[in-house]
Amino acid sequence: MEEKEAKTFDRKKLWLTVIVSVLFAGVIIAVVLTFLLFYNSEVPNKVEQRDNTYFYVEANNNYKSYRFKFESEDQTLTFDSQSNIIYVKDMDGLIAGSKYQVSACYISEKENASSEYSEPITWTCYLRLETPMLFIEDDIITWQEIDNASYYNVQIISSNDTILTQTQSASFDLNNISGGQYEIFVSAVSDNEYYQESNLSKSLKIDFCKYFEPFTSATVNLENKILTIIGEQEISKIDIKIGLVTYKDFVVKPTLEDGKYIYNISLRDFEIDNETFVGARPSNIDQYNIYNGEFTQAIIQ
């Protein structure tokens, strides 16, 4: 009888031990699951940086978003992103030339469950200037002034040539070039090395007609038979009228003095005296470079 009671007691003790062990294991599992639910020890790898254009970290689908932190001696900035990539152009407040310690962490939907920050990398801030937007009115191309720009590069592209010029003003007068069909781009440039040249503007396609003005004056020196013409615009060809005959398309190359274009043409092969009519006008070069005025009469000296 006593032996039977002893065996019954041992079985109860065994079951009690099993039940206690199971309950203890359950508590341990619950604690672990709770820990994993509310705290995740995953830490991003080091932030990677590409061409001063963007930063990225390894993607992690266990989190809702990413936070990038930029720390310098003067400021601490954080930027949240739904993507594991963040672009420099989208981050306000960065200071060109400043040196930052850049790190990132994963952001959880649950409170106090975000990851620690990654080990930081050192990055010197280079900012790209804003891209100009082009407008045209009355043969003047304009764009907004770009902060921190020192000057602007203007590219003027035709079917057979490309003109490159610079201007410190936020405009370009088309009358500085010949008429024609053009595609025009502008970029902003800074003398500060930490501001990178902007991207090219969207192209502006134009059909520009240039209308020449009459010459300011014309004189003929009878001694050397040199016709001297002064004008406000640069042109490449001139029509000359001597007496009743017009001679077209004299090819000329002016000199520039005090903002005036001076053209000298030899008339030694022509009979000219004080009574001879001598006149000059810009040639109609093509449908884009046009003169509709009269001859400027030369003074005979």
Q: What is the pLDDT of residues 162-187, one digit of tens each?
A: 999 999 999 999 999 999 999 999 99
| Distance (Å, whole) CA 100 – CA 81 | 19
Q: Of 154, 184, 208, which closes a domain?
A: 208
The identity of residue 159, as a single letter, is S
Sign of CA dihedral 244, 248, 254, 257: positive
Residue range 273-294, pLDDT digits in tens: 999 999 999 999 999 999 999 9
**Domain with 244 in it: what CATH number?**
2.60.40
Q: Is the pLDDT of residue 35 over 60?
A: no
Residue 176 sits at φ, ψ, to 5 deg, of -80, -5
8 occurs within a structural domain: no
Domain count, the chain: 3
pLDDT at 39: 47
Instruction: State percent of the chain over pLDDT 90.
Output: 82
Contact criterion met (CB below 8 Å) for 121 and 47 = yes
Residues 172 and 151 in one domain: yes
**Secondary structure letter of residue 74 according to DSSP:** S
18 occurs within a structural domain: no
pLDDT at 112: 84
Q: Is the pLDDT of residue 38 over 50?
A: no
| Distance (Å, whole) CA 111 – CA 106 | 12
Contact criterion met (CB below 8 Å) for 150 and 168 = yes
Q: Is the pLDDT of residue 19 over 90?
A: no
Coil, strand or helix at 271: coil
Confidence of residue 111 (pLDDT cuts 50, 70, 90): confident
pLDDT at 25: 61
35 occurs within a structural domain: no
pLDDT at 12: 59
pLDDT at 32: 47
Q: Of 190, 208, 226, which closes a domain?
A: 208
Strands (E), 129-190: 135-137, 140-142, 151-157, 162-167, 171-173, 180-189
Q: Is the pLDDT of residue 36 over 50?
A: no
pTM of full prediction above 0.95: no
Contact criterion met (CB below 8 Å) for 184 and 157 = yes
pLDDT at 118: 96
pLDDT at 42: 84
Residue range 209-259, pLDDT digits in tens: 999 999 999 999 999 999 999 999 999 999 999 999 999 999 999 999 999
pLDDT at 14: 58
Nearest to 283 by CA among 273, 274, 291: 291
Q: Of 127, 149, 171, which closes a domain?
A: 127
| Distance (Å, whole) CA 181 – CA 227 | 33
Domain that includes residue 123, residue range: 48-127
